[in-house]
Chains A and B, each alone.
Chain A
Amino acid sequence: MIELAVTLPQSLTRFLQATVEGLSLAAIYALLALGFVIIYKSTQVLNFAQPALLIFGAYMASYLSITWGWGFWIGVLVAIALTAGLGAGLERVAMRPMVGKPVFAAAILTLGLDIGIRVFVNDLIGVNVRAIGDPPEGGFGAPGLPWPQLPWNWGGVIIQPRSVVMVITTGVLVMALLYFFRRSRFGLAMRATAIDQEVALAQGINVGGVFSMAWILGGAMAAVAGVFGATAFAGLSASNAIAALKALPAVVVGGLDSINGAVVGALIIGLAEAYTATYQAQYAPWLGSNFSQVVPYVVMLLVLLVRPYGLFGTEEVERV
């Protein structure tokens, strides 16, 4: 362990420890929430197949890097590409015929997709927890980038390198996405499609391409989240997919159609979950064991009671 010569009071250590864990959870939720929001904004589909994409990506990463021995980096990158491809394929085959149909029908259809894919992948995973491998010793494999394999101990607060990587990667990805949407030509096309599909089509925008792109991005981010969720001691099992369902409250808290909201929502949900896991057993044991697992939904209900469209979502204004 790398230690810093600082001593902090016990209560503060505990709080900071929970914060660190909350932030790494938030990193996972943020990626998944962004995937939901991007797909929802571009295609008006609420993608319940996100858990399937997550578990597929994580499984492929584990399979390629360990079983086939391709190494961590190549395995993960190929897995991300494959999951993005799966997302695009699902959109093309199953979701495209649903354009113009009621939004619920499309949402329920993604539930069907989710069940089908997850049965296959869960069967491949089997009953044992799979490892997903670690980045090679020495960190990113590049010389001059020292990467401690051991956790830091910052005055009693244990910080796993995994958490740091997760938070930084998510931060970079969010920035890249924002840049993509704000500055690139295709990003502009996606924003235009989000505002009005028909008008975008009339302007010569390839709306079908935008739909594919949304699912590619959603799939890729679900795969990254899946890899994050399975790294180090966590491992990969069928129950990892639940993370994607816990990201739904993050989306709702932030507002279904707000990219910034997704990140803020993920932070709120991740921190709430981590603080509950730390303090609930002591201060509110009557809430039952593992209450932290359902805290995201409680937070979601409370936020929706106050703000029915989430914190940053746009209120729907409808004409009759």
Chain B
Amino acid sequence: MRGRPGLFTRYEDASAILPSGTQKVWLGIGLAVLVIAPFIVDRATLILLATAVVAAVGAIGLNLVTGYAGQVSLGHAFFLGVGAYSAAAIGGQPEEGKELIALGLDLWISLPLAGLIAALCGIVVAPVALRLRGLYLALVTLGLVFLGEHIFRNWTQLTGGQGVGREPATLSLFGYRFDLDGSVLGIDLIREQQIYFLALVVMVVMALLAKNLVRSRVGRAFAAVRDRDIAAEVMGVNLTKYKVLAFAVSSFYAGVAGALLYTVTGFLDPNAFNLFLSIAYIAMVVIGGAASIAGSIAGAFFITLLPEVIENVIHALPIDAETLFTSISTAQIERILFGVLIIVFLIFEPLGLYGIWIRIRNYWKAFPFSY
């Protein structure tokens, strides 16, 4: 319906993936930017971009369980870790003289398996989640992160142990190596570009799957559980089934994201999967907007690119940054901003970037009138 984007005459139109033409245009522009970006930016930024694309998969996963199904999980770092180490164990190349578990299998096995193993962990945790509601659940998932950290530090055969670490999964798909420089269709790509495009494809597929999931019967059941779980149960939504499903799907996403997360940097540190990582993903969901797939992606990019932005801003400041920030490093400013952004968004814009977008859209809809 041209000119009347809010008017739907069929249910299919209202629940379409992209209900309006504007959204189709924006999606096209966004994808074009994502495809062109790796050819323009420098290598350091490209690494961040690739990380952001992978983080988006993880953020979508967290949004499914927390934003859509309303089960607050502080344990996302644990599932990311499970995915990362499953993938590394299945897809890593065995090395001489090291007693690490490494089966050296192809990516088409290791990536889905990493997701499935993480999902299995999610299913194991879910029974606890079923008995618990609200804040108790948040606390249990918090405990999960600490237990996970302990396991990752001590299971040296899997993780290399503290201070040693190991390499993540080798990105070899049907024998094609994504973690080396190569050329596709006559275009020479460096290693980071290859990983970036692999991640981008994974992200687009996963985002599409998530979008389809949440506009289906399952997604409506998730929302019902979130809004009032008892009412949902009375209406015939099987709480057990959907809570377990939410955890399993979310963990699957986390597992896939974890498998790719550190492939760009090429090093898996067992201390990386800590509470702060969980909070970073919570921040992505909160800042991007709860219960919004596009918001999760925006939040993931926002949070991951934040250090780079801060760095540039500090260098662009007219004052001498060295004297102003003698004791506080960029990493610290980043953490403080995390905190501040979470607070500001929760107080002033609970819908996140998605909410800001809605406000802008509504403003221009009636322009030049205020309503």
Contacts and interface: CB of A to CB of B under 8 A. Distances in A.
Interface of A: 40, 46, 94, 97-98, 101, 103-105, 107-109, 111-117, 119-120, 123, 245, 248-249, 251-252, 256, 287-291, 293-294, 296-298, 300-301, 304-305, 308-310, 316, 318, 320
B136 A111 contact: no
Interface of B: 72, 128, 131-136, 138-140, 142-144, 146-147, 149-151, 153-155, 228, 230-231, 234, 275-276, 279, 282-283, 286, 327-328, 332, 335-336, 338-343, 346-347, 350
B339 A114 contact: yes
Contacts of A120: 336
For the complex, would chain B's binding face be called helix, strand, loop or mixed by DSSP majority? helix
Nearest to A45: B135
What are the 9 A-B residue pairs with the smallest beta carbon separation, nearest first?
A: A288-B154, A116-B339, A112-B342, A297-B143, A115-B339, A112-B339, A308-B131, A112-B343, A294-B150
Majority-rule SS of A interface residues: helix
A103 B336 contact: no
Contact of B350 (A105, A113, A287, A301): A105
B350 to A, nearest CB: 7
Contact of B336 (A104, A109, A119, A291): A119
Contacts of B338: 112, 115-116
Contact of A111 (B140, B282, B328, B332): B282
Given A98-B346, A108-B342, A304-B128, A256 B135 contact: yes
A256 B138 CA distance: 12
17 contacts: A98-B346, A103-B135, A104-B134, A111-B279, A111-B339, A115-B276, A115-B279, A116-B338, A116-B339, A116-B343, A119-B335, A123-B327, A294-B149, A297-B147, A304-B136, A308-B136, A320-B231
Given A109-B343, A109-B346, A115 B335 contact: yes
Contacts of A298: 143, 147
B338 to A, nearest CB: 6
A290 B347 CA distance: 39
B153 A288 contact: yes
Contact of A101 (B132, B133, B134, B350): B350
Contact of A290 (B128, B131, B150, B327): B150
A248 B144 CA distance: 13
Contacts of A318: 230
A103 B346 CA distance: 12
Contacts of B136: 252, 256, 304, 308-310
Contacts of B346: 98, 101, 105, 108-109, 112
A153 B21 CA distance: 81
B3 to A, nearest CB: 37
A94 B339 contact: no
Contacts of A116: 335-336, 338-340, 343
A249 B139 CA distance: 8
Contact of B154 (A46, A289, A309, A316): A289
A42 B69 CA distance: 28
A313 to B, nearest CB: 8
